Amino acid sequence: MARIFKRHSIHGRLFILFLTSMLTLLILVSVLYYQKTTEIIHSKISDLAVKNISQTVGLFDLMLEGYDSVTKSLNSNYELLRLIQERDKEEDAAISVINERTITNILGAVYYSRDDIIGIHVISNKGKVYNYERRFAGIVDINYSSTDWYKKLVESNGKMQWFGLSEGSLINSFLRQDPVFVFGRQLYDLTNYKPIGVVLIETNPKPILSALSNVTISPNSRVYIVDRENRIIASTEPTVESPEDRKDPPSFAGLPRPKRNDIVVDNQTDQLIVAANAAMAEWTVYSLTPKEDISAELAQTRLYLLFVILAVIIIATFLASLISRNIASPLKLLIREMKQVELGNFRGAVNVNSFEEINSLVSSFNRMVLRMDELIERITLSSISEKNAELQALQSQVNPHFLYNTLDMIYWMLDERENDRLGRVILSLSHMFRYSSDWEEASKTTLGQELDQMRHYMTIIENRLEGRIETEINIDKSWLDAPMPKMTLQPIIENAVKSGLEPLDRLGVLRVYAESDEKTQEFRIVIEDNGVGMSEETLAAIRKSMYEPVFIKNGAVAAPRSAQTSEARTRRGIGLPNVHHRLALMFGDNYGLRIDSEQDVGTTVVIVMPMPVSNSSSSQHPESSQH
């Protein structure tokens, strides 16, 4: 298996290609299947939640209608209402006791008519209290008149008031430890429709909590009954004795509220929210289920899907290996034979029996190798003939050493005749020719040697132009060993003289100096002239030619093809791109020539090279000269 995953291996590449394709298809199908399954499960859970909350709301309406009937039966009991009013007026103690017992018996009849009633409390407008409870009957909180529930009953105008789930009795201080469901209404005299008191009934909350639990669809589901003011009437939150462990209820202000008999389902948040109205009490029932619990239902599906994916991956790996091996084997044979051809063995042939395309490729390769063998034989014979002709041509050329010696002889003859000026010109020409024709040490030289070559050239030019040109050189001696390509300065100086300074009608000045930049680690040689300069079009054409691809002509770097037309045909158009490309070849593409010019002002050429390592901490002593 290690050979399969070799980088650049045909077998490995094909294996990865086939395996990736099959796994991509597998993952795509698995994701689509999982998404569809998730959608179906979520839809079923939502439908179940809607069904549960609809049934629960219907059950609440039935329960509340029953409670409403209990209060209405008390309010429509003529005997009860009469006795309450008479007892508020009479002063006879014996009759008062009899009436009180009769009222209590009426309340007791209602109490025993339902199993879920815990206590019935009637309070007259005169402050007389009648109770019927299973335990601690007759014990009433003396401050009941200042409580909120009593004020709401007095101000209710006979409308049913639902106080919801309470942690203990609202009126009996001895029953504060048991939760109760509380509701009540104001009692009216049916003859003149005047209030005569209030009735408060406390019932067992288990039927309501049991109905709420039917709405839950997971262990972490929470169900709340909320009134119009977003106050919680009842909930399935577990009772926590410690205040530190008690969780804050959710805010219902931003949750959706259904209209009339509608049911709202919201799954845009991290919870599944289902809401419905209980019309009897104008309540809203909210079911909040974390989506994590819903996702837990998908665990079995994910596990099954994981086993299927693992099995398919194993099968896909085997198939990918088999297919890639069948395709790669003949190609490996072809590559092996190609390496033999690379080593010079053109006598071999590849024989495979594979796919039609591979067989065609192998046949073409065999024919190509045979043709190459024939062409090599012809080229070899042609090359031998060409070399012989070249040797004969070289033998007919003038020996450079003969020319050096002849120029030296002319110099000494002029020196004997005391013709110093012409002697210096001949000596400079001899040094220049010797330097430019000596390429045995390749094309690499130093800045010092280039400056010497430049001085020889300027000696010839200044003698020819008779004082029309002045040269200033200011190069620190520590930079003289900086390496650079051979024949770098001379083409730039020649261009400056011939194209910039020679056409002037005034004294031409040529300045050469060096500078370094520690920040960019660049070493720059600047050649400035105050010549005629160049137009913007000519400058743009030269800059463009410097960054065009070069080509090789007669074994040397030639100018770009665009530099061989129009004004760029001058030596400036050919020499500068040549120097720029040789600098880039030696030091990298970030280095080379930078040219600026302004017509009738002058031209500046900057040679940019990397900072020489040996000069980073050297002391600087400028070498200055003036011709």
Residue by residue, DSSP assigns 524-539 as EEEEEE-S----HHHH
For residue 384, the model assigns a pLDDT of 61
Q: What are phi and psi of 135, to 5 degrees?
A: -135, 150
| CATH number of the domain to which 474 belongs | 3.30.565.10
For the record, the structure tokens of 498 come out as 């011939």
375 pLDDT above the threshold of 80: no
CA–CA distance, 106 with 145 (Å, rounded to integer): 24
CB < 8 Å & 24+ apart, contacts of 296-299: 296/218, 297/41, 297/45, 298/34, 298/37, 298/38, 298/41
For residue 397, the model assigns a pLDDT of 41
Instruction: Determine the average pLDDT of the residues in 332-342.
Output: 71
390 pLDDT above the threshold of 60: no
CB of 42 closer than 8 Å to CB of 34: no
Cβ partners under 8 Å of residue 203, min gap 6: 67, 114, 116, 117, 118, 180, 181, 182, 183
DSSP assignments along 285-343, one per residue? EEEEEEHHHHHHTTHHHHHHHHHHHHHHHHHHHHHHHHHHHHHHHHHHHHHHHHHHHHT
pLDDT confidence band for 39 (50 / 70 / 90): confident
Cβ partners under 8 Å of residue 313, min gap 6: 23, 26
Pair 134, 225 in one domain: yes
Decide which of 479 and 457 is more confident: 479
Identify whether 32 is part of a domain: no
Structural domains counted in the chain: 3
1 pLDDT above the threshold of 70: no
Spacing of C-alpha 260 from chain mean position? 47
Pair 385, 477 in one domain: no
Instruction: Determine the average pLDDT of the residues in 256-264.
Output: 77
CA–CA distance, 64 with 71 (Å, rounded to integer): 11
For residue 101, which amino acid is it? R
For residue 31, which amino acid is it? V
328 pLDDT above the threshold of 50: yes
pLDDT, the chain, mean: 76
pLDDT digits (tens, 9 = 90+) for 474-526: 998 999 999 988 888 888 998 898 888 888 888 999 999 999 998 889 999 99
For residue 526, the model assigns a pLDDT of 96
CB of 284 closer than 8 Å to CB of 250: no
pLDDT confidence band for 408 (50 / 70 / 90): low
Q: How far apart are the first and last CA of the chain?
A: 76
Identify whether 612 is part of a domain: yes
Among 202-206, 232-236, 281-285, top mean pLDDT goes to: 202-206
CB of 494 closer than 8 Å to CB of 457: yes
Identify whether 160 is part of a domain: yes
Q: Which of 550, 581, 615, 394 is nearest to 487 (CA)?
A: 581
| CATH number of the domain to which 182 belongs | 3.30.450.20
25 pLDDT above the threshold of 50: yes
Q: Which of 346, 215, 196 is nearest to 284 (CA)?
A: 215
Pair 263, 382 in one domain: no
Q: Point out the domain boundary residue: 395, 421, 456.
A: 395
CB of 597 closer than 8 Å to CB of 537: no
Pair 89, 180 in one domain: yes
Q: Which helix (H) or strand (E) holds 277?
A: strand 271-278
Among 125-134, 273-282, 350-359, 588-597, top mean pLDDT goes to: 588-597
CA–CA distance, 32 with 16 (Å, rounded to integer): 24
For residue 41, the model assigns a pLDDT of 75
Pair 388, 454 in one domain: no
Pair 284, 377 in one domain: no
For residue 2, the model assigns a pLDDT of 43
Asked which of 169-173, 443-447, 540-544 is least confident by mean pLDDT, the reply is: 169-173
For the record, the structure tokens of 114 come out as 């339902």
Identify whether 423 is part of a domain: no
What percent of the chain stands above pLDDT 90? Answer: 9
Q: Which of 354, 311, 329 is nearest to 15 (CA)?
A: 329
Burial readout 268-290 (b: 16 or more C-beta within 10 A, e: otherwise): eeebbbbbbbbebbebbbbbbbb
DSSP state of 496: I
For the record, the structure tokens of 278 come out as 């209980």
> Which residue segment(s) compose the domain that 125 sits in?
52-237+254-293
Identify whether 506 is part of a domain: yes
For the record, the structure tokens of 81 come out as 């209402």
Q: Which of 227, 278, 220 is nearest to 253 (CA)?
A: 227
CB of 512 closer than 8 Å to CB of 526: yes
Q: What residues does 130 pair with on adjacent strands?
A: 122
Pair 543, 490 in one domain: yes
Pair 390, 538 in one domain: no
Cβ partners under 8 Å of residue 594, min gap 6: 605, 606, 608
For residue 391, the model assigns a pLDDT of 41
For residue 625, the model assigns a pLDDT of 60
Identify whether 412 is part of a domain: no
Crossing angle between the packed helical segments 420-437 and 447-465, to the nearest 10 degrees: 140
Task: Say what the pTM is.
Answer: 0.44
For residue 553, the model assigns a pLDDT of 47
230 pLDDT above the threshold of 80: no
For residue 394, the model assigns a pLDDT of 40
CA–CA distance, 430 with 418 (Å, rounded to integer): 19
For the record, the structure tokens of 342 come out as 């690379």
For residue 381, the model assigns a pLDDT of 60
Identify whether 355 is part of a domain: yes
Identify whether 416 is part of a domain: no
CB of 102 closer than 8 Å to CB of 238: no
pLDDT digits (tens, 9 = 90+) for 87-133: 777 667 778 788 888 888 888 888 888 888 888 888 888 888 888 88
For residue 91, the model assigns a pLDDT of 63
For residue 567, the model assigns a pLDDT of 45
For residue 85, the model assigns a pLDDT of 84
CA–CA distance, 432 with 452 (Å, rounded to integer): 9
The residue whose two tokens read 């600087």 is: 620
The residue whose two tokens read 């105008």 is: 157
pLDDT digits (tens, 9 = 90+) for 545-585: 887 765 444 444 444 555 444 444 443 445 788 888 888 87
Instruction: Determine the average pLDDT of the residues in 153-170.
Output: 83
pLDDT digits (tens, 9 = 90+) for 48-62: 778 887 888 888 888
Pair 362, 444 in one domain: no
The alpha carbon dihedral of 617, 618, 622, 623 has a sign of: negative
Decide which of 5 and 214 is more confident: 214
Pair 372, 443 in one domain: no
5 pLDDT above the threshold of 70: no
For residue 609, the model assigns a pLDDT of 94
CB of 183 closer than 8 Å to CB of 160: yes
CA–CA distance, 603 with 497 (Å, rounded to integer): 11
Pair 508, 381 in one domain: no
For residue 619, the model assigns a pLDDT of 41
Q: Point out the domain boundary residue: 363, 395, 427.
A: 395
CA–CA distance, 235 with 277 (Å, rounded to integer): 15
Pair 360, 280 in one domain: no
Among 28-37, 110-119, 176-185, 316-325, top mean pLDDT goes to: 110-119
For residue 8, the model assigns a pLDDT of 58
